[in-house]
Amino acid sequence: MIVSPRAEGLVLVRQVDHQIQCGLMAARWGGAGFARPEPWGPLAGAAAWHDEGWRQWEARPEVAPDGRPVDFVDIPRPVHVGLYRRGIATSLARDPLAGLLVSLHGRGLYERRLGIDGPRPDPGDRPRAVREFLAEQEALQEGLRARLRPDPDWEWAAYRILQALDLLSLYLTWRAHPAGREGELAKVPRAPGDEGVAIRLRRTGEWTASADPFPFTGEAVPLEVAARVVPDRRYRDADDLAREMASARVVRLPYVVHRASHARGRSAPGRRAAPSSPRT
């Protein structure tokens, strides 16, 4: 669960809603200069399913010792790897190639996105639960490659696009965009075999951001995502938080990402009410 303290309270975006937003991005991927690696279906599926393992946990999310909802980066590692095991298994059952990409995603969370974010850490320095998870996923991936024979260039390009979608959603919904910070998506491939380019992200309005270069079709892509706004208070336990979330209205955060030249110097189209005056 993505937890963002804002003026109106704690804005909570569930991982299973975040992945829906990533699926919207995948549907519009392929603007000028950015080819879709084929087959595209497994990548679109991986975008829409990569956090499916969180669904049960998010029905009753945990509360930290300070009484605040546990943010996704603070969840205990043994619990975290269990969520990704479940989600990887679900994806594999739906589409084995998508499952391969979701497995790579889960592994990359502990290995600096498989080197995109810098040298991979020494596995020996990781907690036991993480070491076991990494070894398990490496073996799973080798077995899938032997059976499915994916093109290595396709696999690496598809994985990096999945990371770009994931990080763009986090840029919008977590801390960077609300704080007005710029962001960057590193090594985004324009085609299989391509080294990749950096996509620069910049806030242009309360619900808008620009991407340069722009990897989507058209001039702008709507990326609305569901969220819940709960009071920023100390919660007694998971049941207390679950009751608050169940009674909270589902609000729609109306994000739009534009081509940089399209967004510059213009009022943001499609702007809607803030979460304090939500469209439910």
pLDDT in tens, 161-199: 999 999 999 999 999 999 999 999 999 999 999 999 999
- Domain membership of residue 125 (yes or no) is yes
- Domain membership of residue 160 (yes or no) is yes
- Domain membership of residue 280 (yes or no) is no
- Domain membership of residue 139 (yes or no) is yes
> CA distances (Å), 219 to each of 37, 145, 170, in order?
21, 37, 21
Domains contained in the chain, number: 1
pTM of structure: 0.92
pLDDT in tens, 39-80: 999 999 999 999 999 999 999 999 999 999 999 999 999 999
Please name which of 183, 174, 172 lies closest in space to residue 207, comparing C-alpha atoms: 172
pLDDT in tens, 220-254: 999 999 999 999 999 999 999 999 999 998 999 99
- Domain membership of residue 259 (yes or no) is yes
- Domain membership of residue 272 (yes or no) is no
Three-state DSSP at 46 gives: helix
Q: How far apart are CA 189 and CA 192, in angstroms?
A: 7
- Domain membership of residue 276 (yes or no) is no
Range of 157's domain? Answer: 2-263
- Domain membership of residue 271 (yes or no) is no
